[in-house]
Amino acid sequence: MWLLDKLLTKVIRNGRLEVTDHDGKHYAYGSGEEPPIRLRFTHPKAARHIARYPQLGAGEAYMRGWLVIEPPHDVRDLVLFFTSQAKSAGGERVLKPQGTVSRLTQMAVAKADSINLPGKAKRNAKHTYNMTRRLYELFLDEDRQYTMAYWRGDPEATTLEKAQLDKKALIAAKLYMQHSSEFGRPMKVLDIGCGWGGLALYLNKHYDCEVLGIALAEDQIAFCRERAKALGVDDKVRFELLDYREVEGQFDRITSIGMIEHVGTPHFPQYFGKTYDLLANDGVSFLHTCGRVGPPGYTDAWTRKYIFPGGYIPALSELVVESEKAGWQVMDVEAMRFHYSYTLAEWYRRTCLHEEEIVAMYDEQFFRMWQFYLAGAEQSFRHGTMVNWQIQFVKDRAALPMTRDYMEIEAKRLRESEEPPQWHLDPALQQAAE
């Protein structure tokens, strides 16, 4: 415990943390009038494991039940407490590898892990997205949007369903889809990393376009096809189990929502080169991704191991430099600040409401892993340096109007044209939530 005690003494500046080690010894850190967060270690290896590998060790200790957070607090409170300490002197270091050698080792391992050849990319997709369908139904919105929602109003007064619907309206507007009426034929859209098909079906619904959605997780594609068939649009909205490198043809619009995080930086030249070849000369390409506001970095060991193997959140500089090399012209960039933190907080809330069912589907360790993932991700977008980037690309700058007014006009029209669905929750859980 001595090493963790040393770290916590140095880090905790605001609030109060109390720790009871496995042998019953009690430790207190910081000062504050609010009720302290109380932790209890149940295993003799817990403190050392966390001190030696802060990012990986804390997550594993919580997953394994070695670290118990006493009510009324939970793991989200703990994660947000620690990351808020980064604003105090020295607090940031506790969540990073200690020492130059450790950091360089982490960077090297993460770099190697980001090499995603087609076979590995497919295995990674299966790891992340081929879990039980019911799991995603329990915490996502009704359309299964597994990316940032767009919170235009007060997050406390806006439903997740409304925020996700507003996001799709914004994406459609930035694609300049209203221009489709001038084509004299249906627009052809490629949706790379189509998820569960929500955006593809939305675009078809509002613009009568033809969409090809591609992904590498079999169950996602099967679900997408079921949705398209049920809506009677499977002749216009097709979904294929394809790597983006295998796509052929030409498209008027290309979307990539939350997908480039899985490409891997060594493959950015290939990605931007391939999509450049696939887009018509007067077309528009749109990229939505988690991003970092600083320079390039690396993915932490816990996230690579348990949640997104091969994944990496890019810096804006990496995306712009590689896109320029491929010939793209960047027409619009928007940093979506804090939106994902509110999205993740709601996913966490819904996950916790369904604890009993998720434990029954998997086990307690999986449930705690999922909690830690959502809480950790939220803190990165709330207190850390993560944002979402939305970038609009063209080959020919004449493909878009001179001002951005068309975006807001079209997004407003779409928002007013459709009401969001209601989230279906068991009455007993609804009462508990309230």
Question: Measured between alpha carbons, how far is 369 from 151 in angstroms, rounded to an integer?
Answer: 27
Question: Measured between alpha carbons, how far is 323 from 268 in angstroms, rounded to an integer?
Answer: 8
Q: In the β-sheet with 329-336, what is the strand arrangement from edge to edge?
A: 237-241, 210-215, 188-192, 251-257, 279-292, 386-394, 329-336
Which burial class, exposed, middle or buried, applies to 178 when counting CB atoms under 10 A from its CB (0-12, 13-18, 19+)? middle
Question: Measured between alpha carbons, how far is 200 from 255 in angstroms, rounded to an integer?
Answer: 9
- Asked if residue 242 lies in contact with residue 214, where contact means CB atoms within 8 angstroms, the answer is yes
Q: Digits of tens for pLDDT over the chain (434 positions)?
A: 999 999 999 889 888 999 999 999 999 999 877 889 999 999 999 999 999 988 899 999 999 999 999 999 999 999 999 888 865 544 344 445 445 444 444 454 455 555 656 665 556 545 445 578 999 999 999 999 999 999 998 999 999 999 999 999 999 999 999 877 777 899 999 999 999 999 999 999 999 999 999 999 999 999 999 999 999 999 999 999 999 999 999 999 999 999 999 998 999 999 999 999 999 999 999 999 999 999 999 888 899 899 888 889 999 999 999 999 999 999 999 999 999 999 999 999 999 999 999 999 999 999 999 999 999 999 999 998 999 999 999 999 999 999 999 999 999 999 999 999 887 666 555 555 55
The residue among 385, 375, 377, 308 whose CA lies nearest residue 73 is 375
- Quote the pTM value: 0.90
pLDDT tens-place string over residues 346-391:
999 999 999 999 999 999 999 999 999 999 999 999 998 999 999 9
Find the helix packing angle between 75-84 and 364-382, rounded to 10°. Answer: 30
pLDDT tens-place string over residues 13-25:
888 999 999 999 9
- The confidence score (pLDDT) of residue 119 equals 62
The token pair at 232 is 């009677």
Question: Measured between alpha carbons, how far is 162 from 229 in angstroms, rounded to an integer?
Answer: 25
Q: Where in the chain is the domain with CATH 3.40.50.150?
A: 119-433
CA–CA–CA angle 199, 203, 206 (5° rounding): 135
- The confidence score (pLDDT) of residue 431 equals 55
- The confidence score (pLDDT) of residue 92 equals 42
User: In CATH, what is the architecture of 2-96?
Assistant: 2-Layer Sandwich (3.30)
Q: Which H helix or E strand runs over 1?
A: none
Q: Where in the chain is the domain with CATH 3.30.1050?
A: 2-96
The token pair at 174 is 């930035």
Phi, psi angle pair for 253, to nearest 5°: -140, 145
Question: Measured between alpha carbons, how far is 26 from 355 in angstroms, rounded to an integer?
Answer: 30
CATH class given for the domain over 119-433? alpha beta
